[in-house]
């Protein structure tokens, strides 16, 4: 009797590699999918990671994917996820910093607990709002929508989307330079907040460039150091606002108005001024970094394909059409 017929791929079958844009988009989509369920459940670290993943995905979408109805719908859903997670994230950070302050000498414990109680109460309210908003974002539909976008990406030359990436980075760098110039050396929260946001957006675009083989890693590292200083400054300013709220409406307990909140406010202000001084000291380097993004990053040749495979840029496999349900 003849052996049963086996139908399969011939050893000489050529397996088509998906375009680099598909790999980039899928990687960022999977990152969001991995962290979102725990974030919805309230895990502090997952909230942070899911929010970062959503921002990275939002930065990548308009660069690697041509404009389409599917891309626009996915972008709107991801934006809702980012905003919902943001309701809780800054208060998670505030609680962490207050716990850190509790370990220092000279910080009035009762007053600190008054502020912490206020922040935790606000966070609980926002967490409920976050859960309600995320419940409206059907994660299964979002995943299918992103897979539809990834599958539809063209497999032609990379020039078009690389040009879009170069234009995007130049635009982000220009926005950072303008924000830095507008902020100057004055200590003013709103202009400094704009510097922080523009630095963050440039960093996400540079991370995308690094994943394509461009030598962006040193720029990302330098920008992250500058961003961390402004991030800490912003977090302390958030806590200053909560301290001011508790001062305006002190709790009903003995000693609530004995000056403990004033001492906490002075500690926070001193650290904010110190961080601002560090920012001013590093400002020339940030301006130089923005210039390098515009003039020298894309002049360097990409890393060779072998290195890009090590970074996960090459994923073999047949491209299959996803089962897409219309959202």
Residue 299 DSSP code: G
- pLDDT at residue 46, rounded to an integer: 92
User: Could you give the number of structural domains in the chain?
Assistant: 2
- pLDDT at residue 4, rounded to an integer: 52
Is residue 165 located within the same domain as residue 294? Answer: yes
- pLDDT at residue 200, rounded to an integer: 95
Is residue 151 located within the same domain as residue 161? Answer: no
CATH number of residue 65's parent domain: 1.40.20.10
Q: Which of 115, 134, 156 is at the close of a domain?
A: 156
Are 207 and 55 in contact by the 8 Å Cβ rule? The answer is no
- pLDDT at residue 160, rounded to an integer: 72
Count CB neighbours of 320 within 10 A: 7
Q: Which of 129, 156, 183 is at the close of a domain?
A: 156
Alpha carbon 6 to chain centroid distance?
48
Instruction: Give the CA dihedral 188, 194, 200, 204, nearest 10 degrees.
Output: -170
Q: Supply the pTM of this predicted model.
A: 0.81
Q: Which of 100, 122, 156 is at the close of a domain?
A: 156
Is residue 61 located within the same domain as residue 109? Answer: yes
Residues with Cβ within 8 Å of 296's Cβ and at least 6 positions away in sequence, in order, are none
Domain extent, residue 219, equals: 157-302
Is residue 134 located within the same domain as residue 54? Answer: yes
- pLDDT at residue 254, rounded to an integer: 63
Is residue 99 located within the same domain as residue 161? Answer: no
5 within a domain of the structure (yes/no): no
- pLDDT at residue 69, rounded to an integer: 78
Give pLDDT tens digits along the chain (327 positions): 455 545 455 555 555 666 778 888 888 999 999 998 898 888 889 999 999 999 999 998 888 777 777 788 888 889 999 999 998 999 999 999 999 999 998 899 999 999 999 999 999 999 999 988 888 877 777 888 888 787 777 665 555 788 888 999 999 999 999 999 999 999 999 999 999 999 999 999 999 999 888 889 999 999 999 999 999 999 999 999 999 999 998 887 766 667 899 999 999 999 999 999 999 999 999 999 999 998 877 765 555 544 444 444 443 333 444 443 334
Cα(9)–Cα(18) distance, integer angstroms: 18
326 within a domain of the structure (yes/no): no
Are 20 and 63 in contact by the 8 Å Cβ rule? The answer is no
Q: How many helices (H) and strands (E) does the chain have?
A: 10, 0
């Amino acid at each position: 009797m003849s052996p049963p017929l086996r139908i399969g791929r011939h050893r000489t079958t050529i397996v088509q590699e998906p375009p680099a844009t598909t790999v980039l988009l899928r990687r960022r989509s999977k990152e969001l999918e991995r962290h979102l369920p725990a974030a919805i459940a309230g895990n502090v670290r997952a909230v942070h990671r899911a929010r970062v993943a959503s921002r990275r995905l939002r930065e990548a979408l308009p660069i690697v994917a041509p404009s389409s109805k599917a891309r626009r719908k996915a972008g709107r859903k991801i934006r809702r996820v980012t905003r919902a997670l943001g309701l809780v994230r800054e208060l998670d950070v505030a609680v962490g910093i207050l716990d850190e302050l509790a370990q220092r000498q000279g910080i009035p414990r009762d007053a600190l607990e008054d502020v912490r109680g206020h922040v935790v109460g606000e966070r609980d309210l926002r967490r409920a709002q976050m859960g309600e908003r995320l419940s409206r974002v059907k994660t299964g539909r979002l995943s299918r929508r992103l897979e539809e976008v990834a599958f539809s990406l063209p497999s032609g030359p990379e020039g078009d989307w690389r040009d879009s990436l170069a234009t995007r980075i130049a635009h982000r760098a220009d926005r950072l330079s303008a924000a830095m110039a507008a902020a100057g050396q004055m200590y003013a929260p709103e202009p400094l907040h704009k510097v922080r946001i523009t630095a963050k957006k440039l960093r996400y675009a540079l991370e995308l460039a690094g994943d394509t083989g461009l030598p962006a890693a040193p720029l990302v590292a330098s920008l992250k150091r500058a961003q961390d200083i402004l991030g800490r400054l912003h977090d302390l300013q958030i806590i200053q606002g909560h301290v001011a709220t508790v001062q305006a409406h002190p709790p009903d307990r003995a000693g609530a108005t004995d000056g403990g909140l004033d001492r906490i406010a002075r500690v926070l202000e001193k650290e904010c001024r110190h961080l601002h001084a560090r920012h001013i000291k590093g400002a020339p380097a940030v301006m130089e970094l923005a210039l390098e993004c515009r003039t020298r990053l894309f002049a360097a040749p990409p890393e060779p394909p072998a290195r890009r495979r090590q970074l996960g840029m090459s994923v073999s496999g047949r491209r299959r059409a996803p089962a897409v349900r219309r959202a």
